[in-house]
A and B are shown apart, each in its own frame.
Chain A
Amino acid sequence: MNYVIENFRRNPLSLMALFIIILLGVTAIFAPVIAPYSPTEIDVDNVLAPPGLRHPFGTDELGRDVLSRMIYGARVSLSVGFVAVGIAIMIGTLIGAVAGYYGGRIDSILMRFVDIMLTFPTIFLILAVVIIIEQNIWTIMVVIGLTGWMDVARLVRAEFLSIKEREFVQAAKAVGVDNLRIIFRHILPNALAPVFVAAVFGIAGAILTESALSFLGFGIRPPEPSWGNILTSGKDNIEVAWWLSLFPGLAIFITTLSYNLVGETLRDSLDPRLRQSR
């Protein structure tokens, strides 16, 4: 933990990223208080207004305030990011733990399953599933989670493979502690640090995936705002309204960049080997 604080203190960029992450979270939670306009209110007199004093980020093709839509969009992006990663972490940890702990046949079957899942480009798999099920924020979260657990599984498996050989695990086995208890109480807590780092990177990835899906028209449906679907109107009005493309994309970019920077700093502080090499 000391290393973490030390590392953030030495790295002003990551500290700023951490600050941005907190700020974004606060913005998302207090969206109704912060947003200057309603995100869905249509104003036909102010269609595609460029950025100005009344609308700092301009308006879209229905006269809706882009800044307000982005503030509400932060709710969508962040909640999808967190829930999807939560699902991915749960599945990945469970599969990785079982594979690493039991080894042998179970291990090879589970890891083969991971290999198979990895041969599908994620976006193809997600599109195939979302056109069958009903598309709303909950199903999007689940689908992104279900297609994003493989790296976590590999990571957890590797941790389990090495930790299960350690004396305290052998000792627990010797005194007859049952397998489930060894997995969850003895090994898992020692394997959580890299999982946490993976989760931080995972949130960036899930936010990117959600925005790409919404951009393509398979994610969050308008009028509900999401950073991705504001960019869709940006594309439709690309010749006349640059602000519709610039600001929401910048929001996605800064958010994922912040999570990636924080993730990198966390990883550096948790991995002593990397600490020397960078």
Chain B
Amino acid sequence: MIPILLGITVITFTVIHLAPGDPVETQTELNIKASAQARENLKKLYGLDQPLHVQYINWLKRFLRFDFGESFVDQRRVIDKIKERIPITLSINLISMMIIFIFAIPIGVFSAWRRNSLFDRITTVFVFAGFSMPHFWLALLLMILFGVELGWFPISGLQSIEIEDMSFFERLIDIARHLVLPVAVATTGGIAGLSRYSRSSMLEVLRQDYIRTARAKGLPEKTVIFRHGLRNALLPVVTILGLSVPGLIGGSVIFETIFAIPGMGQLYYSSAMARDYPVVMGMLVIIAVLTLLGNLIADITYALIDPRIKVGGERG
């Protein structure tokens, strides 16, 4: 955990120093908005007159205090800009993850159980399509079809302008309608990947001796599949869910930008566009740390559902 955290900071620090020549010069040259004052601040922020390892240690100290400097664009503190975006992205990703789980696992389990059935074949086609589909293109198609042509769902933002005049319930519906298309885009790849994965995991389990034993002793098929099969098949699926966290967060750059949702992905995109370095570098670290936390949660979940791993040292 700690070495990985340190590694994340080393890589981010390296990226900052990739710029040929003096990073301050390059950066301010690209960003005309950067005033002489900002230039000085940036020099101070990176402490460029110091030797490299001192620069790194200083940067690390500031990172531990969540001090990433100030944005070039509006001179606000980077951490404040990021903080207000985190809840939006996190809740959309949590919703997406739940939807992925709810759809992918039954699809995968059922395809494995009824292997080579019509259902299995159709889902296999969809899985491949979901894998290969450029998500931003899917977003455009959904926008054209459901937004422009049919007018069912709004295609940009998180809420309508009239939201102030709505009752609580109407607001909820309004936000939900805004979320339908972005969440559909965010979940497509995940559902495809995870259902494929749970299918092969289930296939593997169904071939095991204990499943044959369970069937041989006359247990009902439902018990065999759900109690003996599913629990064992789910173990590796949880690991994959943890590994898919970076992909989900990475996807938010794309769907938040397209649907103009004011989350972290959109902030990252607009900051990159404006060459707002302090924000970009601050977010790079924070995103990696969030991903690490996601993996940690997946590990803990794994420990909770795997009877072979006991948490808290109790022995059976």
Contact = CB atoms under 8 A, between A and B. Distances in A.
Interface in B190-237: 200, 203-204, 207
A245 interface: yes
Contact of B272 (A131, A211, A249, A252): A131
B148 A212 contact: no
A113 interface: yes
Contact of B7 (A113, A218, A242, A277): A113
Given A119-B8, A120-B287, A252-B134, A261 B140 contact: no
Contacts of A249: 134, 137, 140-141
Interface in A192-227: 204, 208, 211-212, 215-218
B87 interface: no
Interface in A146-185: none
A204 B128 CA distance: 12
A133 B12 CA distance: 15
Interface string A114-147: 0111111111110111011100000000000000
Interface string B130-161: 01111111001101100010000000000000
B253 A128 contact: no
Interface residues of B, number: 56
Contact of B19 (A119, A122, A132, A246): A132
B272 A218 contact: yes
B258 interface: yes
Contacts of A113: 7
Interface in B236-289: 243, 246-247, 249-251, 253-254, 257-258, 268-269, 272-273, 275, 277, 280-281, 283-284, 287-288
A262 to B, nearest CB: 11
Interface of B: 3-4, 7-8, 11-12, 15, 18-20, 23, 26, 30, 128-129, 131-137, 140-141, 143-144, 148, 200, 203-204, 207, 243, 246-247, 249-251, 253-254, 257-258, 268-269, 272-273, 275, 277, 280-281, 283-284, 287-288, 291-292, 295
Given A119-B295, A208-B134, A212-B254, 9 more contacts: A120-B287, A121-B246, A121-B291, A132-B19, A235-B258, A238-B148, A249-B137, A256-B131, A260-B128
